[in-house]
Amino acid sequence: MTSWLLLPLLGILYMAGCSHGLDNGVALTPPMGWLSWERFLCNVDCNKDPQNCISEQLYKTMADIMATQGYRDAGYQFVNVDDCWMADERDFDGHLRPNATRFPSGIKALAAYIHDKGLKFGIYQDSGLKTCAGYPGALCHYVNDARTYADWGVDMVKLDGCNLNPRLMDILYPAYTQSLNRTGRPIVFSCSWPAYQVDLGMKPNYRAIAHSCNLWRYYDDISDSWESVLSILDYYASVQDTLIRVSGPGRWSDPDMLIIGNYGLSYDQSKAQMALWAIMAAPLFMSVDLRTIRPEFKEILLNRQIIAVNQDPLGKMGRRIVTVNGIEVWARPLAPVTDEGFPSAAIVLFNRRHIGGPVRVTLQLNSIGLTNPHGYKVWDLYDPHATPVIVKPFEDIPSTVNPSGVVMLRAEPVPAPRPQPQQPEGTAPGGGGGVAVVVAKGGPEGGVKGVAGGAPGGEIAIGGGAGAVPGTGPSIIRINGGGQGGGPGGGVGVGGGMGAGAGGGMGGGAGGGNGVSLNEGPGGGAGGSSSGIIGNVNNALGTGAAIAAAKPEEALPVAKGGNVVKGGV
């Protein structure tokens, strides 16, 4: 009892002398690997189930497969042991030790085996008195355990939060950070800190968390179900502005494991999880039996183009831009960026509907702030035979999205032609110092003229206003087609949103609403204080998206026009 009463005081005294944050130079892109928990849980009965119990043989087997079947070469580096690897008690000197029956060679030998395969080794611990499964926790042993892990050659530590008051985590997780720093070994630090505080109804201090952790779980554990994936996506979208501000190279928000190849997701749902985890710049940790995974799911996990999105060197997280009638648009800024400041982007069209057939969706790139007047090379990342096509910002990109499925596109800006020698200096967009972008007025309230009279059940249209010039980026949400004044079924405009201010500052677009910056969060009115990636790659993609519901079997005119926007990357 006395030790519990002294914990807050001890933590404060510890932090008073150790105020520096995590300083290890690792995880500059989201970590990738394999993790045992979701698939194998805490199966410790190696007599009845020797092939699937938590043992050194399980991890060696997975390492062998990763090294020989393309996973390592695709970027999956870590083999991570989770809970239930320990003996029931520490040794006489207070050191951790593995279960001698299931890990007879010891953890140091297991780490060396995995290193010899060209992989990295991760291990699990808990910040409280006991792990979630009841094995020895780290509390009162932080320094000693960190030294042990460094001596064993551990490359990553996942520190869980069971059996610890979440109110103490603001003190104790940074204390563990300092223990890792003092080892001198670059160890990736994975925290569960905010997830437990969210469960308690607390508001996590994400700036402090990002100062102490390389990655952090921010929501419930994933389970092998589509409902679990959707709940994580919805929670992420509800806090995305906060997470985007603090995430980046060396510091990643973690939505939990990939469950692709198990039992709970269909093929299309598996493609959706992979695509959306890449958009979120999430750590990619598979939790699947690599010995028995079916080829079509393995192909998803090894998709090099989607992995490249996840591992993009800019390290910018994406966001959900808009959702209407079960259709969502997500996007993320990527490299390369042109000299004029136009970024590339990954775009996901996500159909959350689980009934009916495929839905046809038409996208215009200006609707998500991609306004390079020279156009973009665009291709489908799930089509291995796709050939990039050049698309201007206001041209239509048609797609068909299956229920519970996605279409994932990559758009790379076409560079501006080299200026002629006689061209006066400073005539590039934005005067050579960025791209000057203004919100288009677009005509009278209710929208500029588009394609009027869209019939009921018109296809989903995502795009900018007709007649607007490149660089303006207005867009609307119209339900069931409709142009100015609407057609049968009504042309309903959903307003409020954002537009890019001159010089790339993101502010409220016509129709009101706050500007949103990928790094800085809500901004002010037009030309507000938040910045936009239109003018500067360090900030956010442009304006907004428009979307309208559709019957999949009908090909009807695409509604365009308007000057109100919804959302923005």
Q: Does the annotation mark 289 as catalytic?
A: no
Q: Which helix (H) or strand (E) holds 286?
A: strand 284-286
How far is residue 71's CA from residue 32's CA, in Å, rounded to a whole number?
10
How far is residue 332's CA from residue 348's CA, in Å, rounded to a whole number?
9
How far is residue 21's CA from residue 30's CA, in Å, rounded to a whole number?
19
How far is residue 362's CA from residue 459's CA, in Å, rounded to a whole number?
8
Q: What is the DSSP letter of 407?
A: E
Selecting among 82, 145, 160, 289, the annotated active-site residue is 160
Which two structure tokens, joined as six digits, stand for 526?
């037009």
3-state per-residue secondary structure call for 155-191:
CEEEEECCCCCHHHHHHHHHHHHHHHHHHCCCCEEEE
How far is residue 281's CA from residue 313's CA, in Å, rounded to a whole number?
11
Characterize 253-280 residue by residue with b for buried, 16 or more Cβ atoms within 10 angstroms of its Cβ, and e for exposed.
Answer: bbbbbbbbbbebbebbbbbbbbbbbbbb
3-state per-residue secondary structure call for 207-227:
HHHHHHCCEEECCCCCCCCHH
Tell me if 232 sits within 8 A of 194, measured CB to CB. no
Selecting among 64, 151, 220, 221, the annotated active-site residue is 221
How far is residue 290's CA from residue 223's CA, in Å, rounded to a whole number?
18
How far is residue 208's CA from residue 182's CA, in Å, rounded to a whole number?
19
How far is residue 205's CA from residue 127's CA, in Å, rounded to a whole number?
18
3-state per-residue secondary structure call for 289-351:
CCCCCCHHHHHHHCCHHHHHHHCCCCCCCCEEEEEECCEEEEEEEEEEECCCCCEEEEEEEEE
How far is residue 141's CA from residue 149's CA, in Å, rounded to a whole number?
12
Q: Does the annotation mark 268 as catalytic?
A: no
Instruction: Kindly report whether the peptide bond that precedes residue 336 is cis, defined as omega within 30 degrees of 0.
Output: yes
Tell me if 324 sits within 8 A of 477, measured CB to CB. yes
Closest CA to 146 of 35, 18, 8, 256: 18
Measured in residues, the chain has a length of 569
How far is residue 172's CA from residue 178's CA, in Å, rounded to a whole number?
10
How far is residue 487's CA from residue 53's CA, in Å, rounded to a whole number?
62
**Which positions are catalytic?**
160, 221
